């Protein structure tokens, strides 16, 4: 984080404490965070503390402004060069994109204009101006309610740190964690994270970050057990302390006792055996023991997630979120960029299908290319997703043209987000026709037919799924939004998120309506919300009629194993029983009764919570409802 003048009254020294501290605090500690990359790791801590950067604050004379701006521009180039050098050292080509994003931020006109304006108007030195403009940009990003966007604030901060150290004539040393160590950090910048591929570290723990932070994405890609979002971590760990990282349950054991280490080793053995068991099924289909096949695909947002998704056995991409392509840049991507990105994805995944969702921006997912300065009173129900695409027709058409051209290289499926009714779908279809006509006019080769489908994530769309099904090639249920809109719950709001319940009877009915409509129309129905990644719901979803599930890739082996060890009959019987339940609490109880004996270990290894905890949560939600009723 780049400190502001408010929290950094004195210039402070940048620290990287990868050396042993004088006195290691005694005693065993346990810290909880977000398990973002499964697995168990044990090793000596390698502490990286880069939180504090020296930000000199000085006023400059008016006639020194030009020189200061020149110094700033030289630093921009210097920081670009540093990143270029690091990129050249990387062995994993796919991590380069993360560094490219940092390089793009260094070219961000908003950053450059803000900083130069501050130097000119406030007569301050470049370091101070960078620190202030980075803080302003971060403030805007921090307000986004979507995690994906909120977390970009850390990337902006890292870019700012690099720029400030470069202005000071320094270059940040690369981290060099010893093999087998556990990297413990406040946060790792993208350059550090990308370099982790070179070291065989046992685990990764950070104070910052979430599921979509670069640290999490890279940790998953490299299969390094990782826990992020751990409060007060650096105050508790010294380099050399033994640390256990439990990426499954989101736990960190600091200076564990011998008994804990022994227990962990046992657990690791079981975990490895469990993983090996699943690995045997890698090339096998997710087929129930009575012969019903379910296609398991990956949800992706960045190219660097592809390799690991393939390793986990994904049969193609069920949801590619193109929002990332629009972030950290001033202009929307061109037709050519859309074309190249989709073509690369198709080539990587051939012969499997790749389902690309057109940009799902607006509301809290703002990007500079679409900024209007207008504040919407109710953005979640405002100009977002398809509605925004129809308003920003040029960008929408550019994306469609790129995708139609890419369709020559493989089975691309184009998915429209947040469609609420047939009028929006028809307007979307018209845009396809227009994009096609433009390609014909330009003489640009493209596929005559592309598969077009919609996300079912607004209750109105689910209710009229039979009507929608007549006009599309597939439907994909987005339970993240469907639950939010059906139950009128803002997931980010702590006051109400205990009501966020996938097994609510209304949700189960909407899923069933959509599956039935798809079956009747003879088109595939998939589910790509988080619910698909959770093994507690696999039986219910398959039982309700889903034959395609798209999920976090790391969940695929466990979910495949559950399906292969079950019969369609028993899954359908459970689905029928939960559809009869009057409350989610009853439904959850039934689900747990049916699966916990059979798949207790599967749930322990993936759901990030024990069965006890699951039942406690359900009971607590029920209790709260009763108390508050
Ligand atoms: C969903 O709403 O379930 C979904 C997959 O879309 P997103 O999470 O990107 O809004
Ligand atoms: Mg959605």
Q: Are strands 286-287 and 293-300 parallel, antiparallel or unpaired?
A: antiparallel
CA of 461 from ligand 1 middle (Å) equals 15
Work out the pLDDT band at 574, boundaries 50, 70, 90.
very high
Distance CA 222, CA 200 (A): 10
Active site residues: 214, 528
Which of the residue ranges 68-82, 178-192, 319-333 has the most confident prediction, judged by mean pLDDT?
A: 68-82
Output the 3-class SS for 75-129: HHHHHHHHHHHHHHHCCCHHHHHHHHHHHHHHCCHHHHHHHHHHHHHHCECHHHH
Task: Report the CATH number of the 280-628 domain.
Answer: 3.20.20.60
Q: Tell whether pTM > 0.75.
A: no
Nearest ligand, CA 145: 1
Site to probe by mutation for ligand 1, drawn from 529, 531, 537 as the one with most ligand atoms within 8 Å of Cβ, is 529
Q: Which pLDDT value is given to residue 626? A: 47
What's the mean pLDDT in 358-374? 79
Annotated binding site for Mg(2+): 457, 481
Rounded mean pLDDT, 233-242? 89
On whether the CB atoms of residues 228 and 213 are closer than 8 A, the answer is yes
321 lines ligand 1 (CB under 6 A): yes
pLDDT band at 536 (very low <50, low <70, confident <90, very high): very high
CA pair distance 328, 192, nearest whole angstrom? 19
Residue 249 has pLDDT above 50, yes or no: yes
- Say whether 175 sits in a helix, a strand or coil: coil
For residue 263, the CA-to-ligand 1 centroid distance in Å is 38
- State the pLDDT at residue 551: 93
Distance (angstroms) between ligand 2 centre and the Cα of 479 equals: 7
Band of the pLDDT at 609, cuts 50, 70, 90?
very low
Could you give the CA distance from residue 462 to residue 472 in angstroms, rounded to a whole number? 14
Judge whether 620 and 612 are in contact, CB under 8 Å: no
The closest of 482, 336, 308, 476 to 403, measured between CA atoms, is: 336
Q: pLDDT category, 107, cuts 50, 70, 90?
A: confident
Give me the mean pLDDT over the 275-297 stretch: 92
483: tokens are 């639950």
Which 8-state DSSP code applies to residue 374? P
Residue 627 has pLDDT above 80, yes or no: no
The CATH number given to 54-167 is 1.10.274.10
360 touches ligand 1 (CB under 6 Å): yes
What is the per-residue pLDDT for 350? Answer: 95
Q: For ligand 2, a single-atom ion, which residues have Cβ within 5 Å?
A: 457, 478, 481
* 385 against 610, higher pLDDT: 385
pLDDT in tens, 1-29: 233 333 333 333 333 343 333 444 457 89
Q: What is d(CA 16, CA 173) in angstroms, rounded to the nearest whole number? A: 9
Q: What is the DSSP string of 522-577?
A: T--EEE-SGGGG-GGGHHHHHHHT--EEEE-GGGHHHHHHHHHTS-HHHHHHHHHH
Residue 332 pLDDT exceeds 60: yes
Q: How many CB atoms lie within 10 A of CB 95?
A: 26
User: Does ligand 1 lie within 6 Å of residue 528's CB atom?
Assistant: yes
Residue bearing the CA closest to ligand 1, atom 4? 478
Q: Determine contact, residues 197/223, Cβ cutoff 8 Å.
A: no
CB burial of residue 63 (10 Å; 0-12, 13-18, 19+): exposed
Domain span(s) for CATH 3.20.20.60 in the chain: 280-628
Task: Over range 206-229, report the average pLDDT.
Answer: 81
Position in ligand 1 atom list of the atom nearest CA 360: 9
The pLDDT tens digits of the residues spanning 139-151 come to: 888 777 666 677 7
Mean pLDDT of the chain: 85
CB of residue 572 inside a 6 A radius of ligand 1 = no
Nearest one of 250, 284, 333, 55 to 168, comparing CA atoms: 55
318 touches 553 (CB < 8 A): no
Q: What is the pLDDT of residue 619?
A: 53
Q: Where in the chain is the domain with CATH 1.10.274.10?
A: 54-167
Instruction: Give the closest residue (by CA) to ligand 1 atom 8.
Output: 480
pLDDT per residue over 453-480, tens digit each?
999 999 999 999 999 999 999 999 999 8
Q: How confident is the model at residue 343, as a pLDDT?
A: 97
Ligand 1 contact via 152 beta carbon (within 6 Å): no
- Give the residue ranges of the annotated binding site for phosphoenolpyruvate: 321, 357, 480-481, 491
Take atom 6 of ligand 1 and give the residue whose Cα is closest.
Answer: 478
Residue 214 Cβ inside 6 Å of ligand 1? The answer reads no
pLDDT for 35 equals: 87
Is 618 exposed, middle or buried, given 0-12, 13-18 or 19+ CB atoms closer than 10 A? buried
Which of 219-228, 574-583, 588-597 has the highest average model confidence (pLDDT)? 574-583
Q: Is 543 in the pocket of ligand 1 (CB under 6 A)?
A: no
- Minimal CA–CA distance to 601: which of 267, 293, 284? 267
Alpha-carbon span 102 to 155, nearest angstrom:
7
Q: Whose CA is nearest to atom 3 of ligand 1?
A: 478
């Amino acid at each position: 984080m780049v400190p502001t003048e408010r929290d950094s009254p004195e210039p402070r020294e940048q620290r990287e404490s990868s050396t042993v501290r004088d006195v290691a605090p005694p005693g065993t500690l346990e810290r909880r965070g977000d398990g973002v990359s499964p697995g168990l790791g044990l090793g000596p801590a390698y502490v990286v503390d880069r939180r504090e950067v020296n930000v000199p604050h000085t006023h400059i004379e008016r006639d020194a402004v030009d020189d200061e701006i020149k110094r700033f521009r030289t630093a921009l180039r210097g920081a670009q060069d540093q990143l270029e050098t690091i990129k050249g050292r990387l062995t994993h080509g796919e991590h380069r994109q993360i560094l490219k994003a940092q390089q793009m931020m260094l070219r961000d006109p908003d950053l450059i204009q803000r900083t130069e304006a501050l130097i000119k108007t406030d007569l301050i030195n470049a370091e101070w101006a960078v620190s202030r403009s980075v803080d302003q940009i971060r403030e805007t990003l921090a307000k986004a309610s979507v995690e994906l966007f909120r977390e970009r604030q850390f990337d902006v901060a890292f870019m700012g740190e690099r720029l400030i150290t470069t202005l000071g004539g320094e270059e940040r040393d690369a981290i060099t964690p010893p093999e087998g160590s556990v990297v413990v950090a406040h946060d790792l910048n993208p350059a550090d994270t990308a370099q982790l591929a070179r070291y065989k570290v046992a685990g990764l723990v950070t104070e910052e970050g979430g599921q979509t932070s670069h640290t999490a994405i890279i940790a998953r890609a490299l299969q390094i057990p990782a826990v992020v979002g751990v409060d007060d971590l650096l105050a508790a760990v010294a380099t050399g302390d033994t640390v256990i990282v439990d990426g499954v349950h989101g736990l960190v054991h600091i200076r564990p006792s011998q008994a804990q280490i022994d227990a962990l080793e046992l657990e690791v053995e079981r975990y490895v055996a469990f993983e090996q068991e699943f690995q045997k099924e890698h090339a096998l289909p997710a087929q129930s023991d009575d012969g019903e096949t379910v296609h398991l695909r990956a949800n992706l947002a960045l190219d660097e997630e592809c390799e690991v998704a393939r390793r986990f056995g994904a049969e193609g991409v069920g949801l590619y979120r193109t929002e990332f392509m629009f972030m950290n840049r001033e202009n929307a991507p061109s037709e050519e960029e859309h074309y190249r990105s989709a073509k690369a994805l198709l080539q990587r995944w051939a012969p499997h299908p790749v389902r690309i969702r057109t940009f799902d921006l607006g509301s809290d997912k703002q990007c500079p290319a679409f900024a209007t300065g207008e504040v919407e009173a109710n953005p979640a129900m405002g100009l977002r997703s398809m509605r925004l695409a129809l308003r920003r027709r040029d960008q929408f058409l550019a994306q469609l043209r790129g995708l139609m051209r890419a369709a020559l290289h493989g089975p691309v499926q184009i998915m429209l987000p947040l469609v609420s009714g047939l009028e929006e779908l028809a307007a979307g279809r018209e845009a396809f026709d227009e994009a096609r006509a433009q390609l014909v006019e330009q003489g640009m080769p493209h596929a005559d037919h592309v598969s077009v489908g919609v996300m079912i994530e607004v209750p109105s769309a689910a209710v009229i799924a039979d009507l929608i099904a007549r006009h599309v090639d597939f439907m994909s249920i987005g339970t993240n939004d469907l639950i939010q809109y059906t139950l009128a719950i803002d997931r980010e709001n702590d006051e109400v998120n205990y009501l966020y319940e996938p097994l609510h009877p209304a949700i189960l009915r909407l899923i069933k309506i959509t599956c039935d409509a798809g079956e009747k129309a003879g088109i595939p129905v998939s589910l790509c919300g988080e619910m698909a990644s959770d093994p507690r719901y696999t039986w219910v979803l398959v039982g309700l009629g889903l034959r395609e599930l798209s999920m976090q890739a790391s969940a695929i082996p466990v979910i495949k194993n559950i399906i292969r060890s079950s019969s369609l009959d028993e899954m359908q019987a459970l689905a029928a029983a939960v559809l009869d339940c009057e409350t989610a609490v009853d439904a959850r109880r039934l689900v747990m009764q049916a699966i916990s004996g059979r798949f207790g270990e599967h749930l322990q290894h993936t759901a990030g919570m024990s069965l006890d905890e699951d039942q406690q949560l359900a009971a607590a939600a029920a209790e709260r409802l009763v108390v508050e009723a």
